[in-house]
Amino acid sequence: MRKILYFLLIVFCIVGISLVNNERVHAAAPSATVKITTIETEVFDETFKQKVITLSKATPVIIISEADGWAKIQYKTVVGYIPSEYLKSATPQYMLVQAKEEPLVLVTNKHESEIKGKLHLNTIVEVYGSATADFVFVKYGRLAGFVNKQVLVKPVSKAMIVKSSADLVVREIASSSSTEIGVLRKNSPVKMLTNLKGWAFVTTDKLSGYVLTNGLVTPPVEKEKPVKVNPKPATDKKIALTFDDGPHPKVTRQILKTLEKYDAKATFFVVGQEVKEHPEILKAVYNAGHEIGNHTFNHEKLTTLSPEEIKQQIQSTDTLIKSTIGQRATVFRPPYGSYDETITDQLNVPNVLWTIDTLDWKHRDPEKTVLAVKERAKDGSIILMHDIHQATADALDEVLAPLQKQGYEFVTVSELLGK
């Protein structure tokens, strides 16, 4: 009997040690809080004397608990203590999960690391800290760890409002059984970043989380009567330079420098899929004082599409522009200049064509572009060019110099048309 008692005691000790060690590695699993280190700091063991690891500034860590000025944290597989004053709450960047299959959340930023869980496709996750070569630290509800940064894209926001019938509960993740983190009042404006199987991730200045999609509606828009044809241009020594199909990471920047040299303003009719790839270029164009026009999402010939497809081409681009620069496009140009009443009836801004087509997209020859403008430019001209071809950027200096000497002012389309 005594031998049996000794045996059970030994087993109990072994199990207890195993649980303690396991707790040290995985204790942070129930946590839903992430903070950022404010300085380079040492992490101590439970005696608060022996250093376990040193963390650099701006490292995201999972908070297990905080008491008496110390925070118990987990970083990768390490659990330890650092002074609470060395941590701060951080505003996360919201990113959309897009991949061929559900991406893995790992304990460390190594491909062979232990798996903590998976992220559902099209969910919004919180991103903290800077990306490493391949990984970034994310949190989704109570799941936090490292994922391959290639599976995350910047979401496109859509303006919505809470229905007037009832307040809307905001939850931590897309599940009716998840933690309630707040309530959105009736008619509250929100930005929707994803729509996932009846759940939408929304954000406001004070609250972000998942709500039931059927509790949201699109805000009413006062529709203005569209301009179905181009008004007669003004004729007071003004010319409108327009650039289609961008933004382009190299060509557009070169064009901006040349425009600045001549104190010229222009209108850029941008394509949605290019804005999605190069939002920083669109911001540079807008910040330089140029006008932004809508040129559809992927340059489809609109007269070959259904009314619903036309609406999607126009509205998705408009939404993407607004989420990037803070305002919607002020003019519209149909790809290939092809439009009809079905198209213009969906517009809330002027439909703008051109008076001079340089054909730069066809010949890709700077001299021919210069010649086309030289032979036909006059007061009120609207010149069509494309900021995706290097030859166009190379021609621009010789296009502008002689026109400026003749006393022309280079303005946006809206200014030319007196809007």
* DSSP secondary structure code for residue 351 in this structure: B
- Dig out the tokens for 93 from the structure: 């960047």
Q: Are 119 and 144 in contact (CB under 8 A)?
A: no
Which residue among the candidates 386, 387, 389, 394 is catalytic per the annotation?
386
* Nearest of 330, 315, 334 to residue 272 by alpha carbon: 315
Q: Are 116 and 80 in contact (CB under 8 A)?
A: no
Instruction: Give one DSSP letter per residue of 121-138, joined into a string.
Output: TT-EEEEES---SSEEEE
**Is residue 201 within 8 Å of 192, Cβ to Cβ?**
yes
Omega of the bond prior to 249 within 30 degrees of 0, cis?
A: no
| Residue whose token pair is 């690891």 | 53
State the catalytic residue, choosing from 244, 318, 360, 394. Answer: 244
Distance CA 83, CA 27 (A): 19
How far is Cα of residue 18 from the mean position of the Cα atoms in its chain?
Answer: 45
Q: What is the Cβ-side half-sphere exposure of residue 158, based on CA atoms within 13 angstroms?
A: 17
Q: CB of 380 within 8 A of CB of 369?
A: no
Q: Is 386 a catalytic residue?
A: yes
How many angstroms separate the CA atoms of 364 and 134, rounded? 38
Q: For residue 7, report the phi and psi dihedrals to the nearest 5 degrees.
A: -60, -45
The tokens describing 365, both together, are 């020859």
Per the annotation, the verdict on 244 as an active-site residue is yes
- Packed helices 307-325 and 279-287: angle between N→C axes, nearest 10 degrees: 70
Q: What length is written for the chain?
A: 419
Q: What is the DSSP string of 296-340?
A: -SS---GGGS-HHHHHHHHHHHHHHHHHHHSS--SEE--GGG---
Residue 345: both structure tokens together: 């009836």
199/255 Cα distance (integer angstroms): 43
The SS3 assignment for 386 reads strand
Under DSSP, is residue 57 helix (H, G, I), strand (E, B) or coil?
A: coil
Active site residues: 244, 386
